[in-house]
Amino acid sequence: MQLFSRLYARVMIWARHKHAAFWLALVSFSESSFFIVPPDVMLAPMTLARPDKAWFYAGLTTVMSVLGGLLGYLIGLFAFHLAEPWLISLDYMHAYQQASAWFDEWGFWAIFVAGFTPIPYKIFTIAAGAANMMLLPFVIGSIIGRGMRFFLVAGLMRWGGPQLEASLHIWVDRLGWLTVLILIIGYLLLA
Length of the chain: 191
Q: Render 14-72 in DSSP notation, one character per residue.
A: HHTSTTHHHHHHHHHHHHTTT--S-THHHHHHHHHH-GGGHHHHHHHHHHHHHHHHHHH
Interval 164-184: pLDDT, tens: 666 665 666 666 677 677 778
**Residue 6 or residue 59, greater confidence:** 59
Burial 63-73, CB ≥16 within 10 A → b, else e: bbbbbbbbbbb
What ranges do the domains of the chain cover? 3-190
pTM reported for the whole predicted model: 0.75
Is 144:115 a contact under the CB 8 Å cutoff?
yes
